Amino acid sequence: MAASSSSEEGRGFEYDVFLSFRGEDTRKGFTGHLYYAMEEKGIHTFMDDEKLDKGESIKQLLGCIEKSKIFVPIFSKRFAESRWCLMEVAMMVQCQRLIIPVFFDVKPTHVRNQSGPFEAAFESHEKNKHLSKRTLQEWRDALRTVGEISGYVLETDTDG
């Protein structure tokens, strides 16, 4: 793996890129290939299954976001079902760094408007009494912000 330059370390960057993704959707496919391709090119990349042990806290994961220069959220059909994924995107927006979204079998409008598969996920989150309205609104705002960023749209479904 590539090491960060001393000037990057001075700014506190441990990773060049932070990948945010729904593991069961893309880990062994697109995200895994992207991770290894970037590492091969010397781009030091954070991918949660590689760097954190099972059971480690979201606080440690969010700390890795703060130590990353660029964020690549890979939005997929089940992305919004994960509270961790939504927390990651909210933190990315708070950090105000470069975000390069990938829309994997979802449309940018699904992310921006929480429609399609994102709508059902939010309906489920809204029923969770442990989640505050404020948290849900922060997640919606973050998705709206990132959904408006020009990114990469990848469609692999044959049924559209």
Which of the residue ranges 37-41, 51-55, 58-62 would you say has the lowest mean pLDDT? 51-55
> Diameter of the chain by CA atoms?
48
The CA distances from residue 104 to 5, 9, 50, 146, 156, in Å, are 32, 32, 21, 14, 8
- Among the ranges 25-29, 42-46, 61-65, which has the highest mean pLDDT value? 42-46
Residue 27 has pLDDT above 50, yes or no: yes
d(CA 47, CA 73): 11
Which of the residue ranges 52-61, 116-125, 132-141, 149-158 would you say has the lowest mean pLDDT? 52-61
| Nearest CA among 144, 154, 74 for reference residue 115 | 144
d(CA 137, CA 130): 14
Which residues, other chains included, contact 126 with Cβ-Cβ below 8 Å and sequence gap of 6+? Answer: 136
Residue 3 has pLDDT above 60, yes or no: no
Looking at residues 43-54, what average pLDDT do you find? 72
- Check if the beta carbon of residue 29 is closer than 8 Å to that of residue 57: no
pLDDT of 24 reads 63
Active site residues: 88
Our CA angle for 57, 146, 42, nearest 5°, is 65
- Confidence band, pLDDT 50/70/90 cuts, at residue 19: very high
For 6-154, CATH gives 3.40.50.10140
Looking at residues 141-157, what average pLDDT do you find? 94
Percent of the chain past pLDDT 70, that is, above it, reads 81
Give the residue extent of every domain in the chain: 6-154
